Amino acid sequence: MIIDIHSHMINQNFDINTFKHNFTTKMFFLRLQTKNYEQYYAKMSCQIEESKVDKAVICALEGALTCSNNEQSAKICEENKNFLFGANLNPYDDDIENKFKKVIDDNAVLIKILPSFQNIDLTDKRCYKFYELLKEYNIPLLVHTGIEHTIKGGNQEFNNPLRVENALKTGVKVICAHLGAKLNFWEKDYFELWCNLARKYENLYGDLSAMIWFYRKDYLKKLLKDKELCQKLLFGSDYPCYPYINLKKDANIFDDWYDMFKNLGFDESIFLRAQTILRLNKSA
């Protein structure tokens, strides 16, 4: 089963006409030719149905104007068999155990955190209970790593991959989104930190979402030469993010990402590995 482990649905209350979007967000919507939730949902549903990709994890984000929240994401995933629910939680919440059990009951396959936006320091002792819950339920933690560009705010150093080490030591399966790679040459780069952690911890992985923006292609070339690190990679798109190789507005974004990674030389394992990580097969 080919799974895109990192995609996004927009919030049902999103209004492109009033939202003060940044350049990146504007380009995404122009590419999709969508102006509201209904059009976006229809386009995304159609594209995954027609693509080589079997399922996509919709990563929720509470409190964001653009992204669907937990309630919206869970409902979409319940109605559409092509989508899987990626919940968003805050480890600092006093009632984290009840909220955790709620998203598990709603069939969450992973928990996603965006540390800078949520103002979460994953080394904080308040996260330990959260880590124990992840380990108990065997649910992977997907963490944004590297500088965040689309949803700004907060302390960007919270996105340092080294901050997931306490979770790894607890036994949690951690997936570092974007491998800590920088987008622009002048930014701080965390990629080598991710590489070192991936070699050190068996339970650390990384997703390839948004990894084709011009500067990041060098990272992909390096990964292709390292068989050990290739065993830690998971396919992801960061939909509606799209690779620059195909700028046609009617192109299927899921297929663009799949074809790009295949053409670069990545083997089939990066597309299939998530099935085991998310416990969607009998052997997991």
259-282 pLDDT, tens per residue? Answer: 999 999 999 999 999 999 999 975
Q: What is the DSSP string of 192-253?
A: HHHHHHHHH-TTEEEE-TTTTSGGGHHHHHHHHT-HHHHTTEE----BT---TT---TTS-H
Do 37 and 62 form a contact (C-beta atoms < 8 A)? no
Question: Which residue ranges form the domains of the chain, and what is each CATH number?
Answer: 3-277 (3.20.20.140)
* CA within 13 Å, CB half, 62: 17
Q: With a cut of 60, say whether residue 283 has pLDDT above it.
A: no
4-49 pLDDT, tens per residue? Answer: 999 999 999 987 777 766 677 777 887 888 888 999 999 999 999 9
Q: With a cut of 90, say whether residue 248 has pLDDT above it.
A: no
pLDDT at 284: 42
Confidence of residue 105 (pLDDT cuts 50, 70, 90): very high
Mean pLDDT over residues 231-249, rounded? 86
Q: What residues contact 265, with CB distance under 8 A and at least 6 apart? A: 224
Question: What value does the CA radius of gyration of the chain take, rounded to a whole number of Å?
Answer: 17
What average pLDDT does the structure give for the chain?
92
pLDDT at 246: 62
Cis bond leading into 115, ω under 30°?
A: no
